[in-house]
């Protein structure tokens, strides 16, 4: 935790307390984060920390993303956190890593300012973690590619301005060697939002099914190399899983804080609930697990910043932190009693939001297989 990272942490925390906590409930009801809020984040430099300096970013490494994710997790609004992190660390990173200079110059300044919000379209109705099995097709016709297919569970899918879309461009070869990434702007003919999805949690993130019906995309919108998109997706998964782990740590830590405050005030059987040894010890163990996840996360971010191979560490971290966060939420809701089951309770919302963490960005079972391959 360098001084630079402390400054970022404090800046994010101030923004969350001033802009997110007072308004998050209204965003939950609306099903989206207002775009002026995202532009305000861009104005103070929080949306471009990983982007190149020459295009308006700060040129920072993985630890900065981890600090951002952990502090967003402490907001208690997982949908807000997802909206931001998909933009900063999941979708736009494809552009900064693999885009041409012309593509970067065209889009990255607006992305850093929050004027262009991005989404990533990989998952399909029948394809989740099996990226090589995509069915969306992109066939070359002259100077264009024609896209046909559907994408599912796309965060920022309703209101994004720019989409990074994965499609199969060669039917004759194995899936992992036939995927290409494309930049598709909102409003492109043949591209539409099929429907906004109604989710268990992350209520204030707009999530959509996307539809491509003879959608023509210029060849100049190919993102990276043709038929190399699978490897780009796999590479960027490391960053996605790292920030989701930071989100899990932030959410779990905040849930413990809220629960400790509640237990010290809540009277039962003539004393605060905190006086019950069984409760104290369960929270103590959870606190140790959250700290273990936090230390593992920052070590893994350091490995990434050093350019070291850390697929095993990232995969293990993603599995561990997501499961820890859900254990924390389960017990914290339990210790809130009946109030924990009420929609007006912060811990109820946090428990719903955390449930997706062992699913999104790579299911726990898939993560453990990645670790097992490297044992």
Q: Which of 40, 159, 59 is nearest to 108 (CA)?
A: 59
> What does the pLDDT read at residue 129?
63
For all residues of the chain together, what is the average pLDDT?
96
| Residue 131 DSSP label | G
Q: Characterize 14-41 residue by residue with b for buried, 16 or more Cβ atoms within 10 angstroms of its Cβ, and e for exposed.
A: ebbeebbeebbeebbeebbbeeebbebb
91 pLDDT higher than 70: yes
pLDDT digits (tens, 9 = 90+) for 277-306: 999 999 999 999 999 999 999 999 999 999
Which CATH architecture is the domain 120-227 placed in? Beta Barrel (2.40)
Residue with tokens 């009277």: 267
Q: Give percent of the chain with pLDDT exceeding 90.
A: 93
- Mean pLDDT value across residues 339-350: 96
- Residues near 324 by Cβ (< 8 Å), separated by ≥ 6? 248, 252, 286, 289, 290, 292, 293
Distance CA 359, CA 369 (A): 14
Are the C-beta atoms of 281 and 226 separated by less than 8 Å? no
What residue ranges do the domains of the chain occupy?
Answer: 3-117, 120-227, 230-373
- Mean pLDDT value across residues 355-365: 96
pLDDT digits (tens, 9 = 90+) for 121-161: 999 987 766 777 788 999 999 999 999 999 999 999 999 99
> What band does 27 get if pLDDT is binned at 50, 70 and 90?
very high
> What does the pLDDT read at residue 367?
97
Q: Could you tell me how many residues make up the chain?
A: 375
> What does the pLDDT read at residue 1?
81
pLDDT digits (tens, 9 = 90+) for 31-67: 999 999 999 999 999 999 999 999 999 999 999 999 9
Distance CA 91, CA 122 (A): 10
Query: What are the φ/ψ torsions at residue 186 (nearest 5 degrees)?
Result: -60, 140
Which CATH architecture is the domain 3-117 placed in? Orthogonal Bundle (1.10)
The structure tokens listed for 353 are: 């939001």
Residue with tokens 């965003």: 27
* Residues classed as catalytic: 240
Distance CA 300, CA 311 (A): 9
Distance CA 25, CA 59 (A): 33
Is the CATH number of domain 230-373 3.30.420.10? Answer: no
Q: Which helix (H) or strand (E) holds 78?
A: helix 78-85
> What does the pLDDT read at residue 203?
97
Q: What pairs with residue 217 in β-bridges?
A: 145
Query: What are the φ/ψ torsions at residue 272 (nearest 5 degrees)?
Result: -60, 145
Q: Characterize 85-103 residue by residue with b for buried, 16 or more Cβ atoms within 10 angstroms of its Cβ, and e for exposed.
A: bbbbbbbbbbbbebbeeeb
DSSP 258-294: HHHHHHHH-EETTEEGGG-HHHHHHHHHHHHHHHHHH
Are the C-beta atoms of 24 and 77 separated by less than 8 Å? yes
pLDDT digits (tens, 9 = 90+) for 225-273: 999 999 999 999 999 999 999 999 999 999 999 999 999 999 988 999 9
> What does the pLDDT read at residue 128?
63
Report pTM: 0.95
> What does the pLDDT read at residue 11?
97
Query: What are the φ/ψ torsions at residue 166 (nearest 5 degrees)?
Result: -95, 135
> What does the pLDDT read at residue 95?
97
> What does the pLDDT read at residue 157?
97
- Give a three-class secondary structure readout of 186-231: CCCCCEEEEEECCCCCCCCCCEEEEEEEEEEEEHHHEECCCCCHHH
> What band does 333 get if pLDDT is binned at 50, 70 and 90?
very high
195 pLDDT higher than 70: yes
Based on C-alpha coordinates, what's the Rg of the chain? 21
Strands 207-218 and 191-196: antiparallel
């Amino acid at each position: 935790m360098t001084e630079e990272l402390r400054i970022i942490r404090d800046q994010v925390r101030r923004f969350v307390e001033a802009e997110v906590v007072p308004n998050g409930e209204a965003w939950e009801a609306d099903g989206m984060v207002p775009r002026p809020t995202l532009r305000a984040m861009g104005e103070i430099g929080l949306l471009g920390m990983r982007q190149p300096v020459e295009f308006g970013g700060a040129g920072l490494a993985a630890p900065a993303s981890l600090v951002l994710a952990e502090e967003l997790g402490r907001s208690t609004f997982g949908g807000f956190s997802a909206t931001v992190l998909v933009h900063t660390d999941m979708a736009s990173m494809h552009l900064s890593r693999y885009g041409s200079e012309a593509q970067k110059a065209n889009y990255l300044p607006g992305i850093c300012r929050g004027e262009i919000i991005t989404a990533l379209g990989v998952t399909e109705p029948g394809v989740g973690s099996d990226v090589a099995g995509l069915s969306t097709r992109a066939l070359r016709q002259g100077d264009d590619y024609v896209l046909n297919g559907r994408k599912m569970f796309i965060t920022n899918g309703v209101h994004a301005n720019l989409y990074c879309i994965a499609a199969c461009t060669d039917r004759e070869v194995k899936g992992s060697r036939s995927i290409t990434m494309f930049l598709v702007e909102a409003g492109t003919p043949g591209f539409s939002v099929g429907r906004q999805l109604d989710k268990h949690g992350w209520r204030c993130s707009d999530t959509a099914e996307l539809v491509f019906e003879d959608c023509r995309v210029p060849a100049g919108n190919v993102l990276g190399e043709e038929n190399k998109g699978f490897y780009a997706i796999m590479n960027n998964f490391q960053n996605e899983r790292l920030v989701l782990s930071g989100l899990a740590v932030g959410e779990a830590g905040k849930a413990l804080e809220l629960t400790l405050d509640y237990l010290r005030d809540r009277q039962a059987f003539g004393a605060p609930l905190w006086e019950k040894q069984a409760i104290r010890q369960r929270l103590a163990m959870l606190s140790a697990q959250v700290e273990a996840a936090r230390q593992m996360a920052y070590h893994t971010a350091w490995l990434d910043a050093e350019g070291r191979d850390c697929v095993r560490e990232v995969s293990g971290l993603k599995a561990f932190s997501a499961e820890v966060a859900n254990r924390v939420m389960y017990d914290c809701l339990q210790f809130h009693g009946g109030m924990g089951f009420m929609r007006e309770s912060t811990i109820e919302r946090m428990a719903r939001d955390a449930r997706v963490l062992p699913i999104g960005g790579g299911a726990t079972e898939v993560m453990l297989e990645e670790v097992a391959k490297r044992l």
